[in-house]
Amino acid sequence: MIKLVKMAASIRSAVNLALTLSFIFISFVNCLPRFFHGRLKHGMLGAPKLPPGSVLPTDMWLKQRLTHFNDADTRSWQQRYFVNDTFYKPGGPIFIMIGGEGTANPAWMLQGAWIDYAKTYNAICFLLEHRYYGKSHPTSDLSVENLQFLSSEQALADLAYFIQYIKKKYNLLSLQQKLITFGGSYPGSLSAWFRVKYPHLVDGAVATSAPILAKLDFKEYLQVVVNSLATTGQGCNKNIKMATDGVTQMLKTDTGRKTVEKMFKLCDPLDTSKHLDAASLFSNLAGNFEGVVQYNKDNRAFEGAIGTNVTIETICGIMMDEKSGSPIERYARVNDLMLSTYSQKCLDNSYDKMITELQNVSWNASASEGGRQWTYQTCTEFGFFQSSDLGDIQPFGNFFDINFSVQQCMDIFGPKFNQDLIQAGINRTNTNYGGYRMKATKIVFPNGSIDPWHFLGFTNDLSKESPAIFIQGTAHCANMYPAASSDSPQLVQARTNIQKLIGVWLM
């Protein structure tokens, strides 16, 4: 589920994702930049730009079980949801947007492609916030003991109960009423998996930019990044490689290290005796490019998102401008641009600071916005760690290998969260949902060719009844955003095809 608007510089390293994650990733879809060295708050977007006079739906709550898999445990908690019945006509369908690894934003009850579909089909719309994110707090804190109740399986069971709850509460009991789920990035996976596990409760699922295969070492993420950067010409990757090699050499001397600290505006002195600090630096510098690639021209501007005017052409234009200094100096200029874009004075590069932040179990901590929770899910269910293990095929160096991500799991949650435990969780996830061998009907899988997460999803039809829509030139979750005049013909057609497919399901 995939590297989307974020937290503190350290959080990007913590999960080593590209939104978002982010996959990755508003949590309605969590198609948000995920932890790109923290400049984008994971699972959170700026205040959406809504038409004057817009009235957001109020918070609604239902009583939910702490665990759905132990009938002797009767503990409960309050889960948040939103409803919009503006377009609903009696007998119309039920649309549910699945929340993900961040705060659910009610602006999505008024905006987005799914709202256009709701207008067309007279649907009632719901958005269910994911347990442990936003205001949906099942436990008193985020200790490892309490995080045992955070999993995709529990989230799907929450959704199953929620459906039965709203049908009764809102008198949606007609046997003819169909139900469609929507989600993007990790919630896109949940949308598909819900159709697999609870087919009697859902009649169709839209699974946008959904990573379907859990994978420990997601080294292919950088392969897609490299290919996307290369669309501007071979000079972009070439100059990144020269800059990376130059920084590597500079870190071998005290003078060079101090120069790097100054050029890249590091918040703290770089301890080159610690491999993890160096790994954080190179991972963060790669994150400058990963975040831009994943969300390139995706029309997040309607949400008030920052940085939407920074594109692949922008950063590669800097890297290929030979008149503006050496490759290292241009690499630093890209870093300056990203710091300025997200109003950061310096690049927080300390591995120890990042770990300390993510060890905080309080709901009041900055990591509780989603960083600690999503890191836990990657360490126990999904992996998705975007490593540098492609070697010389990618230009960002070989410092942030898979061991870098595994070490974070162990340092944040304890030594037992080692590679064996992580891999066991990944194996269970793929066994539980099917991975690439998933068996299900009435699911559509839209993916963008620029989005690195498409590598873990379906870009070819799963079956005749579960088609893939591979949209050339688009990024993460692009089809979920409102239409814009700048949309490519392929993106326009993708939205149309999804709408028609929903119509078929509703028939």
Catalytic annotation, residues: 185, 451, 476
Alpha-carbon torsion 184, 187, 193, 194, what sign? negative
CA distance 344 to 417: 32
Element (DSSP H or E) covering residue 242: helix 235-250
The contacts of residue 265 (CB under 8 Å, 6+ apart) are 335, 336, 339, 345, 346, 347
CA distance 181 to 170: 17
State whether residue 38 is helix, strand or coil.
Answer: coil
CA distance 486 to 386: 31
Beta bridge partners of 445: 468
**Which contacts (CB < 8 Å, 24+ apart) does range 290-293 have?**
290/3, 290/18, 290/36, 290/221, 290/222, 290/225, 290/386, 290/452, 291/3, 291/18, 291/19, 291/33, 291/36, 291/39, 291/40, 291/338, 293/18, 293/224, 293/225, 293/228, 293/229, 293/450, 293/452, 293/475
Nearest residue to 295 (alpha-carbon basis) of 5, 1, 492: 5
CB atoms within 10 A of CB 455: 18
CA distance 39 to 53: 31
The Cα diameter of the chain in Å comes to 74
Question: Cα-flanking dihedrals φ and ψ of residue 218, to 5°?
Answer: -85, 60
Tokens 């066991």, located at residue = 424
Question: Cα-flanking dihedrals φ and ψ of residue 173, to 5°?
Answer: -105, 0
Tokens 């066994």, located at residue = 431
CA distance 17 to 206: 23
Whether the CB-CB separation of 314 and 292 falls below 8 Å is answered with: yes
Burial zone of 428 (CB within 10 Å; 0-12 exposed, 13-18 middle, 19+ buried) = middle
State whether residue 74 is helix, strand or coil.
Answer: coil
Beta bridge partners of 62: 79
State whether residue 232 is helix, strand or coil.
Answer: helix
